[in-house]
Structure 1
Amino acid sequence: MSTPGPGRRRDPAVNQRILNAAAEMFGRRGWKGFTIEAVAKSAGVGKASIYLRWPNAEALLIDALATLGHLTDIDSGHVRTDLILLAEQVHDSFLGPVGQASRRLAVEADEIPAVRERWLAARDEQVSIARTLVRRAVDRGELPPSTSVTLLLDLLVGATTMHLQATPAHLLADSRESSSAYIRRVVDFLLDALTA
């Protein structure tokens, strides 16, 4: 985010309101419908408040989407727990207004050059974290050496995201508990198949 110039200190609560409105707006309208005016109206601020903080719509969107899709490294020492926590992070990143922005970003990143670079870096980081998790489990002897890291992660993340996409919109807000049980069943199924 651009640093404030001299004068009155900027209110962090207003910054966050603008960033939340920007992520939500992008999720609903995509890049073609993303305007400073629409974000300002949604955030309840004037356009000047946004332009004091960000020089243009791209810079605002970059900051608004900065945390989308980030995974934290997981190492509980047990592969089942690690895979469940990984899938739950993926699940949570797809929920709510920010989740809608994540899904749209996966489709539209190439249309926004400044955002594309950040998106690719974030995606590479996600893949690296997930692959490291599986490799550690192989090194600990919890998974056979022949385990296909890519196939295991494709099946786990694919099942998690497909489950969310198939859930009706009116049930998504309350899907955490049912999805958590589903994720556990998927992880157990995969581990049984890999260690049979």
Structure 2
Amino acid sequence: MWKKIKQIIFIILILNVLFIIWGRFFNPPITITQIGGLFEYGKLQRDYISYDEMGDKVKKAVIASEDQKFFMHDGFDYSAIEKAMAHNEKGKKIRGGSTISQQTAKNIFLWQGRSWFRKGLEAVYTFIIEKAWGKDVILARYLNSIEMGQGVFGIEAASKYYFGKSSKDLTISEAAWIAAVLPNPKKYDPKNPSPYLTKKHNWIMRQMRNVSLK
């Protein structure tokens, strides 16, 4: 029995290693979150593109919105984590402190949820992809796989869905609108923005001036 368990663990480890190597060069065939969107909304709208095809505006907009220290940290923003923990201890609405690297690990390898087990796995994958993939690959995988609407995944599909154009052709304002729906794309809609979303959009546009892609 123990021998079989060890064999299963070994196979799982080998498959994970192969998937990580695959992810260094290719986008994932599909993710658990994408499968969930397909079942929930009956569609899977996505369009994988290369890092260079994405254009700088949407990269800067998403970094400004989600993780302004992306190119400076090692996968974890410890100050953001501490602030999130302090905020959550007050019993207010739960706030996350995840970096783009952590979100990429979750989106590519894992599932949505807040269990400590999943967070532990997320930390392991985050550490590995920071070492094995590098920042540009992590950002590319994130921007191709992130949920951007109801059954819409990735910034290219989102650009075409919301504005009818490729992501490289977005204006600064349009890029900021796409980034503004994160991290709750099922709730917010750039086509019909709430006062909160409009305020966030304006904030992202200001923050984009401080974002460097290196």
* TM-score (norm. length: structure 1): 0.28
Higher relative contact order structure (alpha carbons within 8 Å, sequence separation ≥ 6): 2
Whose Rg is larger?
1
* TM-score (norm. length: structure 2): 0.27
